[in-house]
């Protein structure tokens, strides 16, 4: 099972000091957090994609490529790649490039985004969110698997004889998770393609997450990708820990109360009771996380939000130390003991290459735009267009 963290990249005032970090400080803090995640033994670091204040991660592949150059082992991912407002051709090219630069240490999570004003900035309408997600991903799926694509849809200009470059590393596309909090259509989409389904149930009760995950599992089996319990599931959440629960609650309360995502609503106690948010001791986090299996089944990836709501970098790094030293080792052991042998691990580049029968060079050699001739063709050879 993979354990990691994700960030939404918010620039939020620390309610205990009144200080707001600069965008530069927030971006460099993200790099430090990712490197710390590898240092403490986590498996995954993921960043969101946002194009509006108070968020800074508008260029996730740039950030992840920079992190890849400074790390050796950790898998780099996204907690949202906006499949609705980002051209699927750009996604295909940008993330294939990241795949090469990271030597395969990456995957990505498709998401729709729920900020209405962002859609028209990119020429889209939020009311088309679901059909955009479906159509754009259908094109992206083909761009990574077909050397030459002819395509026509509703939401972008047609493609004729288009080749996305670079081609996927070793001829194997990056693994894709489809993230959703509330949309069954996205669970259906993930099941149709045999991709992963990530339920970021940070805002929702267990009963809702159970319904979404069970729908995905049933449809995964329906489409012939394996039994329902072999479907690839990820879960999100947030924790804040101190040695004593009372200390954790006292320290985290002002951040929760003023958080841009869930502040000024239910009390901390109500929220932790109704959702997976866990504020307490490391042992409480272990017990709560193990309980996710009761309604989600055996799952493959657990990500936590650690740096939200204005928490200072020093505090976030302390949280990562606790996570890596006291929580994740126990969870690894416990989840491994519970997982049946036929339930797969989370896909990695190496496992996907093995499933494909080995790596191969997927480079497409260009033809002349005018004659269609191969660049290494001689006059005596016929010109063969791909």
Tell me, yes or no, if the pTM score tops 0.75.
yes
Helices and strands, number each (H, E), in the chain: 14, 13
Flag whether pLDDT at 360 surpasses 60.
yes
Number of residues that this document lists for the chain? 386
Q: Where are the alpha helices (DSSP H) in the chain?
A: 23-39, 60-68, 88-101, 118-121, 129-143, 184-193, 206-222, 245-257, 268-274, 282-291, 293-296, 313-322, 328-338, 349-355
Check if the beta carbon of residue 237 is closer than 8 Å to that of residue 205.
Answer: no
Q: Which of 344, 288, 239 is closest to 4 using CA atoms?
A: 239
Assigned domain for 364 exists: no
| Structure confidence by residue, pLDDT tens digits, 57-70 | 999 999 999 999 99
Check if the beta carbon of residue 330 is closer than 8 Å to that of residue 322.
Answer: no
Q: Which of 51, 62, 56, 47 is closest to 12 using CA atoms?
A: 56
Assigned domain for 378 exists: no
Assigned domain for 379 exists: no
Cis peptide before 253 (omega within 30 of 0): no
Residue 183: which residues within 8 A CB-CB, separation 6 or more?
Answer: 112, 130
- What span, in angstroms and rounded, lies between the C-alpha atoms of 47 and 58? 10
Q: For residue 207, how many C-alpha atoms fall within 13 Å in the half-sphere facing its CB?
A: 2
| Structure confidence by residue, pLDDT tens digits, 109-156 | 999 876 778 889 999 999 999 999 999 999 999 999 999 999 999 999
Q: What is the CATH number of the domain that holds 48?
A: 3.20.20.30
Q: Which residue has the higher pLDDT, 309 or 382?
A: 309
Assigned domain for 363 exists: no
Long-range pairs, 257-266, Cβ under 8 A, ≥24 = 257/15, 258/12, 258/13, 258/15, 258/309, 258/310, 259/12, 259/308, 259/309, 259/310, 260/10, 260/12, 260/54, 260/309, 261/8, 261/10, 261/308, 261/309, 262/203, 263/309
Choose the weakest-confidence range: 162-176, 197-211, 311-325: 197-211
Assigned domain for 48 exists: yes
Assigned domain for 346 exists: yes
- The domain of 285 spans 2-355
Assigned domain for 366 exists: no
The predicted pLDDT at position 383 comes to: 36
Residue 365: which residues within 8 A CB-CB, separation 6 or more?
Answer: 374, 375, 376
CA-to-CA separations, 227 to 230, 343, 352, in angstroms, rounded? 5, 9, 19
The number of domains in the chain is: 1
Flag whether pLDDT at 369 surpasses 90.
no
The predicted pLDDT at position 172 comes to: 98
- What span, in angstroms and rounded, lies between the C-alpha atoms of 133 and 178? 10
Choose the weakest-confidence range: 173-177, 246-250, 380-384: 380-384
Assigned domain for 381 exists: no
The predicted pLDDT at position 367 comes to: 63
Flag whether pLDDT at 103 surpasses 50.
yes
Average pLDDT of the residues in 64-77: 98
The predicted pLDDT at position 259 comes to: 86
Average pLDDT for the chain? 92
Choose the weakest-confidence range: 69-73, 202-206, 288-292, 334-338: 202-206
Flag whether pLDDT at 382 surpasses 60.
no
Q: For residue 97, how many C-alpha atoms fall within 13 Å in the half-sphere facing its CB?
A: 15
């Amino acid at each position: 099972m993979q354990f990691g963290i994700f960030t939404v990249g918010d620039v939020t005032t620390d309610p205990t000091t009144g200080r707001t970090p600069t965008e530069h400080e927030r971006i460099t803090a993200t790099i430090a957090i990712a490197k710390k995640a590898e240092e403490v033994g986590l498996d995954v670091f993921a960043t969101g994609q946002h194009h509006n204040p108070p968020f800074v991660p508008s260029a996730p592949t740039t950030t992840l490529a920079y992190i890849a150059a400074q790390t050796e082992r950790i898998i780099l991912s996204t907690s949202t790649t906006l499949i609705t407002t980002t051209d699927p051709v750009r996604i295909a090219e940008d993330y294939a490039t990241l795949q090469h630069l990271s030597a395969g240490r990456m995957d990505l999570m498709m998401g729709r985004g729920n900020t209405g004003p962002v859609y028209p900035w990119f020429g889209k309408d939020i009311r088309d969110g679901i059909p955009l997600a479906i159509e754009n991903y259908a094109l992206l799926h083909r761009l990574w698997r077909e050397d030459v694509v002819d395509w026509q849809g509703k939401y972008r200009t047609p493609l004729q004889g288009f080749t996305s470059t670079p081609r996927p590393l070793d001829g194997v596309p990056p693994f894709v998770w489809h993230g959703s909090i509330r949309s069954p259509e996205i669970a259906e989409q993930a099941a149709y393609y045999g991709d992963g389904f990530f339920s970021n149930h940070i805002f929702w009760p267990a009963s809702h997450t159970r319904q979404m995950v069970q729908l995905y599992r049933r449809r995964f089996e329906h489409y012939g990708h394996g039994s329902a319990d072999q479907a690839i599931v990820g879960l999100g959440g947030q924790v804040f820990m101190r040695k004593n629960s009372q200390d954790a609650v006292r320290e985290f309360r002002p951040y929760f109360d003023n958080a841009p995502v869930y502040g000024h609503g239910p009390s901390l106690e109500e929220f932790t009771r109704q959702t997976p948010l866990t504020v307490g001791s490391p042992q409480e986090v272990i017990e709560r996380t193990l309980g996710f299996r009761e309604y989600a089944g055996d799952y493959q990836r657990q990500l936590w939000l650690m740096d939200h709501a204005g928490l200072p970098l020093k505090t976030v790094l302390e949280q990562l130390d606790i996570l890596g030293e006291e929580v994740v080792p126990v969870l690894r052991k416990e989840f491994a003991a519970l997982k049946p042998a036929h339930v797969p691990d989370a896909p990695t580049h190496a496992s996907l290459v093995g499933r494909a029968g080995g790596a191969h060079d997927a480079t497409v050699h260009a033809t002349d735009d005018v004659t269609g001739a191969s660049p290494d063709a001689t006059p005596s050879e016929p010109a063969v267009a791909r």
